[in-house]
Copies of this chain bind each other. A is one copy, B any other.
Amino acid sequence: MPTKYRGTPDETRALSALINLLRASEAFNASLQREAAAAELSASQFGVLEALLHLGPTCQGELAVKLLRSGGSLTSVVAGLERRGLVERRREGSDKRYVTVRLTAKGERLIAGIFPTHARTVARQFRALTAPEQDELRRLCRKLGRSLEPG
């Protein structure tokens, strides 16, 4: 691998860590996409259903933040799920700006059926690492992610 740019040791260390982080992440995203596709869901749709399963009824803006999607994007994702009868949208409560999204019985059956398999799949994929290694990875990623949020 010929290289025209030579950085400092700090730079090459960081870049090298970064590239492996991004690669692993893309591999997991691809895997997730395959799993979702098997249920005729996009990765984003899967994410919304999963979030609703774990959080219960949630307003759209909050879903957008949790899933790191723009508000506009989330509108269309949720609209698609609603068309398929997997979620319900209602403006309820005193503040009519908020749209509460909740799973329908059909949506809950779907995601509750898929999620355990997903969890097993991820656990299997992570067997490449020992339990302490997984915890350490989590810690490092969390620290890194935290530090990026502000600037």
Contacts and interface: CB of A to CB of B under 8 A. Distances in A.
Interface of A: 1-5, 7-8, 10-11, 13-18, 20-29, 31, 53-56, 68, 112, 115-116, 119-120, 122-123, 125-126, 128-129, 131, 133-138, 140-149
A65 to B, nearest CB: 12
Contact of A28 (B11, B29, B136, B148): B148
A125 B80 CA distance: 37
The copy count of this chain in the complex is 2
Contact of A123 (B4, B8, B122): B8
Given A21-B28, A53-B5, A14 B143 contact: no
B147 A136 contact: no
A134 B137 CA distance: 10
B13 A126 contact: yes
Nearest to A145: B24
Given A21-B28, A128-B147, A53 B4 contact: yes
